[in-house]
A = this chain, B = another copy of it.
Amino acid sequence: MSSATTTAPHPAGLARKLADSGLRSTPQREVVYEVLLKRRDHPTADEVFTRVKPELPSISLATVYNCLETLVQCDLVRAVNFERGPTRYCPNLIPHAHFHDEVTGQTHDIDLPPALFAKLKAVVPAGFDANAVEITFRGKFIASSVN
């Protein structure tokens, strides 16, 4: 597989991305990443821990934090925060917003047209050099009759 411009979120890509940063591929890192790809529901470190445990029963919570941090560093995963709640992790690398459901506590991805991102960055006054923007909606997810 030839290298793409955008990394496809694939367990296989992990080893390469890690090597690029001079880091080793380990079972712990692989399983943590797989878990994130498998269920993209923005789990917390603790939730990742319980999902990884059956596969690697001797893994520690500290290692889960380490692995998640490593994945974020390697730009394979995004850390998402909402109002001092525990950090959640998201393997969707395409710029997008988040919707936080205040009833269920769930976090959903919201796609945004790239033009909007551009417009947002355009309103930042001179003197401010913004290299990232974070957009979070808060509200309720209303069951749609369509499914």
Contacts and interface: CB of A to CB of B under 8 A. Distances in A.
Nearest to A3: B125
A135 interface: yes
Given A83-B81, A123-B112, A144-B127, A133 B135 contact: yes
B126 A144 contact: yes
Identical copies of this chain, number: 2
A110 interface: yes
Contacts of A134: 134-138
A129 interface: yes
A4 to B, nearest CB: 11
Interface stretch (A13-21, A31-39, A50-58, A113-121): A113-121
27 contacts: A81-B81, A81-B82, A81-B84, A84-B87, A97-B123, A99-B124, A110-B123, A110-B124, A110-B125, A111-B123, A113-B123, A116-B119, A116-B123, A120-B135, A127-B142, A127-B144, A128-B141, A128-B142, A129-B139, A130-B139, A131-B138, A133-B138, A134-B135, A134-B136, A134-B137, A134-B138, A136-B136
Interface of A: 3, 79, 81-84, 87, 97, 99, 108, 110-113, 116, 119-121, 123-144
